[in-house]
Structure 1
Amino acid sequence: MSSSAPEVDGARDIPPWARLALSRAAVQVLADQTGARLLHIKGDAVDPMIRPEARSGTDVDVLADPRSIPALHRTLRAHGWTVYSTFRFGSPFEHAQTYAHDMWGYLDLHRRFPGIGLADQQAFDLLWSERTSRQIAGIDYKAPSIEAQAVLLVLNAARAGRGMPSFWTDFDPSHRTRSEALVGRLQAQVAFATAEGSLEMFRGRRDYLLWKVTAQGGPRIAEWWGRVRAQPTMGQSLRVIAQAPLVNTDRLARRLGHEPSRREVIMEFFARGLRGAREASSAVLRRGR
């Protein structure tokens, strides 16, 4: 989840590890009913060989077959899951939509994984073709191969600005070789280089700036320009440009504690513009020193 979420009321008396296991199973049951293909990622879905920490995580993360997301969304809503944050406003990569359930907690439904440059459907099909089978709470589910899990952990660490995960040094050489080959097949070289500390080798790539700002920080205007440059087509770049001035109503609702009124959205629009202007001015002054 891109931002911390409050505890769900119905889950307070359930041990976190038990709630997470039951939540993962519940999500998979709904996916099976819908006919949706899911790959479970992160947390306790990661192979213990490369899991960086013993803790199992705080929410369920799944990578979904992009074609099945509309039907899965309807099924989740019909079974008590509400949208907490949307694809549009969830992150600069617009990669996941977060759902909340009174009993099961939080679900991050990914349509893509940040750092993978291959088209969403092609990337999912590639990862699905090398899937592994696992079980939790008596329910069978699918996870990426151990090599793919390793790549996803590295890309996730790059996005968080943490560098290479600790497991990578001791990763079995044959697994590591296959993981490195998979990086190329997924067109994930720029994000992988970010974790390795060799991002500057990719200065000419369209997603270079976005990963530089993501991993190292920077003003919002740099992030938005990075998002514009990272888009594969002119049409998608124009869409991002048009979206840039819009208020993140998901974030505003969480800050206010209620759905924002039209007046509150308008006030935030102008406040956001002032913050952006201040950031831009500060960046110019720092560059001039």
Structure 2
Amino acid sequence: MGDVENMPLLAGVPLAAATLQVIAEDAGVDILHIKGAAVDEVLLGRAEVTDPDTGETTSVVVPRSSLDADILVRPSHVKRMFAAMSAHRWTMVYRFEDGSAFEHASTWIRPGLCHADIHRSFPGIGLASEEAFDVLWSGRHSITMAGQPCPVPSLPAQRLVLILHAVRGGVLSSPDIDRAWGAASADERAEVDALALSLRAQVALAAGTGRLEEHRDDRAYPLWKALSGGDTSRTLLWWARVRAQPDPWLALRTAVHLVAPKPDRLQRELGHKPGVLQIARAWGHQLGLAASELGRLAGRAAARARRPQ
């Protein structure tokens, strides 16, 4: 197979998705294709194209730009999926723990194909991952990508996923939100609200739909307030992530994980497995950033306190 760099992404991403689908089916793994090439045409942009010969103008769908194939795997099937992918020359680049603060996706690569993000959960959904997958799986339907039938979430679920993704990135002006919510009818919005309720995703959805203040008393409010506002303060995001956890053990684990250096990322940066000294330096760097951020926050608080009321 040729070099993926020479393959247009509009062809490469669906091909990677179709490949993953065949691997999953052979291994008896349940997967749902999300975002990217899997998004329903209703939720895509459109452009007016004029025929140079006839002068006739028509509206055409603008394909979604995507760099990789995204799939959501039934959590109890993740190990089986990873084993099957490894057997087909896919290589893990980042573990779940080395990805985002939500530890929700693992990145894989394979020669000749686009990268793949393997999700075991989706940020913003508070329901237990296996139960959440059941909810999304129950409403699935199939689309064809690169000639292969691929299961995707229901249209309301796709709307929800796109909104949550945009909110996590702090892009409330995203066209995804405009199309998934702004252009939706009252009935379509009600369907998304009902699904968010069943998935415990109300707070994250509210952050993307102008209703976050209705959830001020929710423990997840500070997190989605910070994320939706594009807050870049490491310390504020750290505290919001910790506070959003449902129990003390998860809060403690999250607190440590967010500060700890990521060995796999460090190894890729160095080009070799990090030694004890290099890991210690990475810890020092992380703690130094935290201390610096705390100093800035303390300075801001002091400045606010000195302002005349």
Per-residue deviation, residues 156-213 of structure 1 (Å, max 9, x unmatched)? 1111112261212222443222112111111111101111233233222111222222
Give the superposition deviation at 1:19: 1.3
What percent of counterpart residues are identical? 37
Give the superposition deviation at 1:78: 1.7
Instruction: Return the match for 1:25 from 18, 26, 50.
Output: 18
Give the superposition deviation at 1:257: 4.2
TM-score (norm 1): 0.91
Residue of structure 1 equivalent to 2:158: 149
Residue of structure 2 equivalent to 1:206: 219
Instruction: Return the match for 1:130 from 125, 139, 155.
Output: 139
Per-residue deviation, residues 84-118 of structure 1 (Å, max 9, x unmatched)? 21211211111111111121121111111111111
- Counterparts of 1:96-245 in structure 2, within 5 Å, are 96-163=105-172, 165-167=177-179, 168-216=181-229, 217-245=231-259
Considering only CA atoms, is the larger Rg found in Structure 1 or Structure 2?
2
Work out whether residues 50 and 171 of structure 1, in 8 Å CA contact, stay in contact via their aligned partners in 2: no
Work out whether residues 105 and 121 of structure 2, in 8 Å CA contact, stay in contact via their aligned partners in 1: yes
Per-residue deviation, residues 251-270 of structure 1 (Å, max 9, x unmatched)? 33343344433322211111
Structure 1 gaps, min length 5: 1-8
Q: Matched residue of 2:123: which SS?
A: coil
CA RMSD across the alignment: 1.8
Structure 2 gaps, min length 5: 46-61, 304-309
Does residue 78 (structure 1) correspond to residue 92 (structure 2)? The answer is no
Q: Matched residue of 1:228: which SS?
A: helix
Worse overlay, 261-270 or 109-118: 261-270
| Aligned equivalents of 2:103, 2:117: Cα separation in 1 | 12
Residue of structure 2 equivalent to 1:93: 102
| Aligned equivalents of 1:12, 1:244: Cα separation in 2 | 33
| Aligned equivalents of 2:212, 2:186: Cα separation in 1 | 23
Residue of structure 2 equivalent to 1:265: 279
Per-residue deviation, residues 34-91 of structure 1 (Å, max 9, x unmatched)? 1010110001100010125633411000111011001111111121111121211211
TM-score (norm 2): 0.86
Does residue 248 (structure 1) correspond to residue 248 (structure 2)? The answer is no
